[in-house]
Amino acid sequence: MLLVVDIGNTSICFGVYAGKKLVGSWRISTITGKTSDEYGAEIVNFLDFGEIDRGKIFGVAISCVVPSMLPIFEEVSERYFHVKPLVVSRASQLGMTILYENPKEVGTDRVSTSIAAFELYGGPVIVVDFGTATTFDVVDEKGEYIGGVIAPGVGISSQALFERGAQLPQVELSKPESIIGKNTKKSMQAGIIYGTIGQVKEILSRIRKEIGGNPKIVATGGYAGLIAPEVGMIDTINRDLVLEGLRIIWERNFRP
């Protein structure tokens, strides 16, 4: 079995594959300062809960956009699973051309989701990742990554209002019943949620106009379930897209 781990700024997603089948996936918070033993024990507990024998894990693939966390998870891989992990980078066999001015600037999570989207849905395809940031990644019909968009995410917008507005509370990120709020909490929820929906619609419209055709649009990320159904332009939601991409990358590096 293969353990895949995506380390993001807000959360860490990990899952286990038996062949091409995802047999379990989980999401935990990214907390700097935790030790490899703490993270290792947490992951092992989830595997035990899912009745997954960690002794059968023969490979580990890691995508990381938080540099300080990478050594911790490399140690988790080697101490708890006795495997030297594949850390996805530009040196990995990706099977996708990155047409960025500096390909190293594209986060490995974005590369992973783009690879998975093209493999699963073909091209052209647009991936909208509702994470810490809301990112848009565009893959053409040839399977080449042609670029993308980075915008503030739902969580960032909410946190910024709370931190910079002296009298504004921290609110739960949920869709209010009405666009017109009758109190501060509802007004903030309306602004954050519907503001993000409008932002996503506008960016997707401009991308589609620029590339032409009828690209497939796939949503992923922690806030996809909250925002994507309201956009009206998104074809499918796949919350495990980054894990699928890590599996594909691992296979391209280790299987003939």
Question: Is 77 contained in some domain?
Answer: yes
Q: Bridge-partner residues for 7, per DSSP?
A: 12, 64
Mean pLDDT of the chain: 91
Residues with a catalytic annotation lie at: 109
Compute the radius of gyration of the chain from its Cα atoms.
19
Mean pLDDT is lowest, of 133-137, 164-168, 203-207, 234-238, for: 164-168
Say how many Å lie between the first and final Cα of the chain, rounded: 17
Residues 30 and 154 in one domain: no
Q: How far apart are CA 116 and CA 119, in angstroms?
A: 5
Residues 65 and 180 in one domain: no
**pLDDT at residue 167, rounded to an integer:** 54
Give me the number of domains the chain comprises.
2
Give the pLDDT confidence of 5-64 residue by residue, as tens digits: 999 988 999 999 999 999 999 999 999 889 999 999 999 999 999 999 999 999 999 999
Q: Bridge-partner residues for 64, per DSSP?
A: 7
Residues 142 and 235 in one domain: yes
**pLDDT at residue 170, rounded to an integer:** 65
Q: Is the pLDDT of residue 162 over 70?
A: no
The whole domain housing 126 covers 103-241
Residue 165 contacts residue 173 (beta carbons within 8 Å): no
The fraction of the chain above a pLDDT of 70, given in percent, is 94
Residues 182 and 76 in one domain: no
Q: Is the pLDDT of residue 165 over 80?
A: no
Q: How far apart are CA 132 and CA 29, in angstroms?
A: 12
**pLDDT at residue 203, rounded to an integer:** 97
**pLDDT at residue 243, rounded to an integer:** 97
**pLDDT at residue 73, rounded to an integer:** 97
Q: How far apart are CA 160 and CA 132, in angstroms?
A: 12
Q: Is the pLDDT of residue 227 over 60?
A: yes
Confidence of residue 191 (pLDDT cuts 50, 70, 90): confident
DSSP label of 144: -
- Of residues 8 and 126, which shows the higher confidence score? 126
What mean pLDDT comes out for the span 178-190? 86
Residues 62 and 155 in one domain: no
- Of residues 230 and 165, which shows the higher confidence score? 230
**pLDDT at residue 75, rounded to an integer:** 97
Q: Is the pLDDT of residue 192 over 90?
A: no
